[in-house]
Amino acid sequence: MNSDRWLVLGLGNPGDQYASTRHNIGQMVIDYLASDVKFSNHKSKTQIADFRVAGKSVVLAKTLSYMNESGAPTKALADFYKIAPANLIVIHDELDIDFNTIRIKLGGGDNGHNGLKSLTTNFASPDYYRLRMGIGRPQAPIDPADYVLKPFSQPEKKELADFIARGALAIERLIEKGLDYAQQEFNK
């Protein structure tokens, strides 16, 4: 396995109808990171862009499948580049964290998140990094499954650009300085 290269996956759903939804916050961070580079289609059914952080090679990725099927394309991409789960970072929405809050961790359960469940199943391991982007829980009677597929509210949109930029910075810190440093800076 290649221990020098990283794979950073932004979870989300394909298509314009999902592009600005809470469920696609992971892909929004990837797009921010890749603002100066071009995406290309990879045979693993992902879109990828080459990126560098602190001299390290990084593959930025978005799957072309729906979130609950993201594990197989991501595993195929990781195998192609020979990247172990120890060098995989997944950016995803998190209902159990307040909006505009970031948490970074290594491993853990899927907490009902079907994208994480698909990744853990396909990698046969939960031991990959997670950049958890808080979207908050909906107020009843909105079903969480419907909530994640809705665009951010007007008040949230005012903070969204900064939230996405902080998510991108958290990825860079994690790769450059390691988990402990990144957690101290962002898990507040």
Q: Give 138's DSSP letter.
A: P
Task: Give the residue numbers annotated as catalytic, written as ranges.
Answer: 23
Beta strand residue intervals within 79-160, DSSP E: 88-94, 102-106, 129-134
Distance, first Cα to last Cα, the chain: 33
Stated length of the chain: 188
The answer to whether the beta carbons of residues 171 and 88 sit under 8 Å apart is no
Question: Both tokens of residue 121?
Answer: 């199943």
Q: Give 45's DSSP letter.
A: T
Give DSSP secondary structure letters for 5-29.
-EEEEE----STTTTTBGGGHHHHH
